[in-house]
Amino acid sequence: MTMTSTVKAPEPTVPPARRRDTRRPSRFGPGAGKQLQGGPFAYIALAVVGIGSLLPLYWTLVAASHTQDEVLATTPPFLPGGRLLHNLDAAWNQAHLGKAIVNSFLVAGCITAATLFFCTLAGYAFAKMRFRGRGALMTGVIATLTIPPQLSVVPLFMMMSDIGWGGQLESVIFPTLVSAFGVFFMRQYLSEALPYELVEAAKIDGANNFRIVRSVVLPVARPAMMVLGMLTFVQAWNDFFWPYLALNQQNPTLQVALGQLSASYTPDQSIVMAGALISTLPLLVVFVIFGKRIVGGIMSGAVKG
């Protein structure tokens, strides 16, 4: 549609905004998007993507509820079968899954709690306090986001064995007690959501800094902490690389146990899938319950990134 020459100038008497309403509405932008319904094409395309997103998860369930022979047969099954409990039981016994679940909750729980506490404090400091070197230090925090863990695993492994944490959960928990993303996320949130007057008022009332944090900052930060908590938990729960190197067969997290289960000599694929189901299910439940908040969190964290 090249009609640039014909429709160029609107009559000066009609304000552009109102003029637009009389024509076909624009299909873009936030304002426009609010007016325009997605057509059938949008729904079909989204349905295709949605099925693509969910199909592998469904296939996990199907494979976990049949025997391996059935799953790998020339015509694979498409509906869940009746062997789910048997396979879950087998996975549970073959891969220390009971211990792994406890470990995963411990690791992800500790990391989440510590991240929330430290990142809220640091985020508050960077958002609302003035101190020498603030800009440079914040730049430093963001710069650390770009350093992959691969670069430091060899000495980390040696250090951990040195201080007696080799194969222990501490070796997985301590390096991730705080996160640069968390500091950044809380800073962005608090610099907008926390009115400076509130901090000032508390100061005039004679509250010291820690008291301000407890009774002013934390209540304001709570919604962002919820989101950061969920994102951190998901990440800690799913982390694979360092835990796989640091932990051993006797003391794994779920992901490590799953990796080891599949690395055994002749893994039964159905049992492996049962393990995958166990390791994914807790998060899927969290997702179904808090999906909206997590979506909102990723979007709000990203828009200022």
Partner 1 sequence: MATSTPTPDAYAPPPGGSPHASARSGRQTWRSRLWRFDDKASPYAYIAPFFLVFGAFGLYPLLYTGWIALHRVEMTGLNQMEWAGWDNFDEILHDAEFWTAVTNTFLIGVMSTVPQLLVALGLAHLLNYRLRASTFWRTVVLTPYATSVASAALVFALVFRADGGLLNWVLHFAGLGDTNWANGHWTSKIAISVIVIWRWTGYNALIYLAAMQAVPADLYEAASLDGASRWQQFRKVTIPSLRPTILFTIVISTIGSMQLFGEPLLLEGGRLGATGGNENQYETLSLYLYNYGWNLGHLGPAAAVAWAMLALLLIIAAVNRLIGRFVRTSAV
Q: Which residues neighbour 240 within 8 Å (Cβ) at sequence distance 6 or greater?
A: 255, 256, 259
Interface positions, 79-108, toward partner 1 (CB under 8 A): none
Interface positions, 191-210, toward partner 1 (CB under 8 A): 200, 203-204, 206, 208-210
| CA dist list (Å): 181 to 7, 110, 233, 286, 302 | 47, 17, 13, 21, 11
Between residues 102 and 294, which has the closer beta carbon with respect to partner 1? Answer: 294
Binding of partner 1 by 7 (CB under 8 A): yes
Binding of partner 1 by 32 (CB under 8 A): yes
Binding of partner 1 by 29 (CB under 8 A): yes
**Exactly one of 45, 93, 164, 215 binds partner 1 (CB under 8 A); which one?**
45
Cβ 101 to partner 1 shortest distance, Å: 13
Residue type, 50: G
Neighbours of 152 (CB within 10 A): 13
Binding of partner 1 by 151 (CB under 8 A): yes
Evaluate the CA torsion angle 98, 103, 104, 109 in order and state its sign: positive
Q: Classify residue 70 as exposed, middle or buried by CB count within 10 Å of its CB (0-12, 13-18, 19+).
A: middle
| CA dist list (Å): 125 to 186, 194, 226, 279 | 10, 12, 19, 37
Binding of partner 1 by 168 (CB under 8 A): no
**Which span (51-59, 79-87, 89-97, 218-226) binds partner 1, by CB under 8 A?**
51-59
Interface positions, 241-300, toward partner 1 (CB under 8 A): 241, 244-245, 254-255, 258-259, 262-265, 267, 269, 272-273, 276-277, 279-280, 283-284, 286-287, 291-292, 294-295, 298-300
